[in-house]
Every structure is written in structure tokens, then in C-alpha cells.
Amino acid sequence: MTTLPLRGVRVLDVSTVIAAPLAAMILGDLGAEVVKIEHPEHGDPARHHGYDRDGVPLWWLMLGRNKKSVTLHLGTEDGQGIFRTLAADADVVVENFRPGTMERWGLGYAELSAANPGLVLAHVSGFGRTGPLAGEPGFGTMGETMSGFAFRNGDPDAEPHLPPFGLADGVTGISTALGIMTALYERAASGRGQEVDLSIIEPLLTVLEPQLVTQDQLGRTLQRTGNSAEMNAPRGMYRTRDGSWVALSASTASTAGRVVTLMGAPELADEPWFAHANGRRAHAEDIDAVVVPWFAARTAEEATVACRTAGVPVAPVHSAADILDDPQYAAIGAIGTFEHPALGPIRMPDVLFRLSRTPGAVRSLGAALGEHTDDVLGAAGVSAERLAELRRRGVV
């Protein structure tokens, strides 16, 4: 196998749904050895989220992939002692307890880094580790509402809309992985670890374009615009003759010019306002008066072929079934097929990005709860007799 880019990096994932475990999954996909620490009785709640097939939790197969499952009750002195032993030989710890919990257990950065100065400790929390909400519980929904996403998502005359999935969690997980790798890169020069601190309410602020600087400088609150864009046109989803939907986006004047030319109104491109995004957005209704009937007169396939021939960016509105059959996703390797001992071949998103020389790999799917406890703790010096005793007392 090609050398994995994070080979030799050891990660302790002591987090639960969703953002922090996703960050650890990404590190594992890139070759890190990820040891998932789970409560002996319940494990990660993600094991019980979503659908299952024949009793196998499907989402866990992805979120828990490339991880070794070790059960350990961190609320006990014995569990805390074993964790300190594991952390002394780790490169990264990822946790998402309420701020102060790890410190209360004697597992804060001061204690762990005293034995391991190179340790990177990543904290993911609902609201951050300081401030009036630091101690409050928080999930992705808080990030989607407090960031302004829900306020801007939906139709102008309707209520704000939450996404039907963990958007804030997903963006936070990817951001946390980036923060960890940045800290590891810096450690290569300094030899010292550090803490990575990220709240779920933060990352979407960066994704949501210039809403804050617009508010700060102009006092203008960006509003819900449905499928159109606040700063550009044409952009939206258009219904075709066969009842399908096709998305179109033209973010440059040249692309927008190709749109109106294809759709029979090249004279619009000669208008003074057409040369700039703000001008086109101000005249979005004029442009849509051409675009909407053009799509309505064609099937989705006819419209897509015509647009792509003319260099106009379009895409179908895919369901999950469409994604699994899409030749473009197949061609770029975005969807991988992996073998499960009970369920057989399983398709899911592959490694997040592709490196040309040292690509990552999905080497295993989500493990059974505690599947690797004896191996990992045995390698850390815990004897078989001691393991049996700890198991009787519910520590592992």
C-alpha cells in the first residue's frame, strides 16, 4: 500500500456525535492510528443514530471507520489513570465534553502535556471555552441558528429553515481536522504541542460570505432569498418540462452572457448593468423572465446538454439514489465501495480529498463496541488479569 500521509500519528478520540468524531475520522482516513474511547455501556451515541440493516448501524460504519474501539469509563479513577497512560504516547487527543469536564477528571491540557509536551489537544464545544454560554450544552442546531444560517435559509416570505442534516457539525468537523493538522505542522518546527479550540457556532460564520462585514459597514442585514443569490444573477433552480429541477449559476459576466445568448436574449448582455454582479442581481427578474420559460420548454436532459454545450454551468438536483449512479462521482472516486463482514459491499463517501503521492484510504469500517480494548490496553501494559478485573467493575 502507498504510504499514508499521517502514518505514525496516534489519535485518541474521546468525543461523541458529530463534529469531533468526524474530525478524528478524517485523520484516520489519512493514515493516523485513531483509538476511539467509548463508554463501556453505551458507546458513542452515533451507534444508535439513523438507520440500521440487520442490526448493524449504518451511519456508524462511516463515522467510526479507521478507528479502533476501546471501552473506558473516564468517570472512574482507574479509567482516568489508563487514559493518562494512553495520552502519554499519543500525538492528538480530540474531545467534546462540556468545557471543564476533562480538567475536573484531571485530564486537562496542563496534566496531559506535563507528561507529553508534544501533545495536541483539540477541544470542540457548543459555544467555546469562555464566555457566558461556555458551560451550556450545545449541538449543531445552535451553530446553524446563531451563525445566521437559518435566518438566511428559506423563502423570503416563510419561516427560517434548519438544514435536515448536521451542517454545522460537518463544517466544524472539517475545520477541527484542519486545526489539528496545523498544530501538528507547527509542532514539527517547535517540538511543542498546543490546544486547538473550536466551537460549533463559529465555522459557519466563515462560510456565510460577507454577511458580518456588510452588517458592520453598511448596517444592512442580508435576508432570505430562496434559491436566488443576494449578490448575483442568474442563479437558482429551474423546473423543466418533465417536472425535474436543474440548478444554474452564472457568477461572472461572461458566463451570464452565455446564458442569455443561449436562451434567446443576447441583447441583455449589452445593457450597462449586465457587466457587474450587483447590476445583474438588481435586474434578476428581467433575466429570469428569459431563463424560466427556456427551462420550462425543455426536458432536464435537453436543457443540461444545451447548457453544457454552450459552456453554461448547470447541475441536476440529485437524490441519494442519483448520486450513487452518477458517472461523474464515479470518475473522480468520490464514492467508495468497502466490504463489511456481515453486510457485504457498502458504498459511502471516500476520503475527503485525493493526494497524488500519498493518498488516504478507508482501511476498516466502524468497529464493534470495545472490539480493540484488549489489544490496545494490553499493548499499554494492562495485564489480562487486570483487564478482567476492570471489566467486572465496569471500567472497560
The catalytic residue positions are: 169
CB atoms within 10 A of CB 215: 13
Structural contact between residues 258 and 310, judged by C-beta atoms closer than 8 angstroms = yes
Nearest to 65 by CA among 96, 29, 99, 33: 29
Q: Where are the alpha helices (DSSP H) in the chain?
A: 19-29, 58-63, 77-87, 101-104, 109-115, 140-146, 149-152, 167-190, 203-207, 211-218, 253-262, 277-282, 284-296, 300-309, 320-325, 327-332, 373-379, 384-392
What 3-state DSSP class applies to 378? helix
Distance CA 53, CA 50 (A): 10
Distance CA 322, CA 151 (A): 30
Return the amino acid letter for 297: A
Q: Give me the half-sphere count of Cα atoms (radius 13 Å) on the Cβ side of residue 396.
A: 27
Return the amino acid letter for 24: A
Place of cell 468517570: 75
Long-range contacts of 236-239 (CB under 8 A, 24+ apart): 236/288, 237/317, 238/291, 238/292, 238/295, 238/296, 238/303, 239/295, 239/296
| Chain centroid offset of residue 95 CA | 16
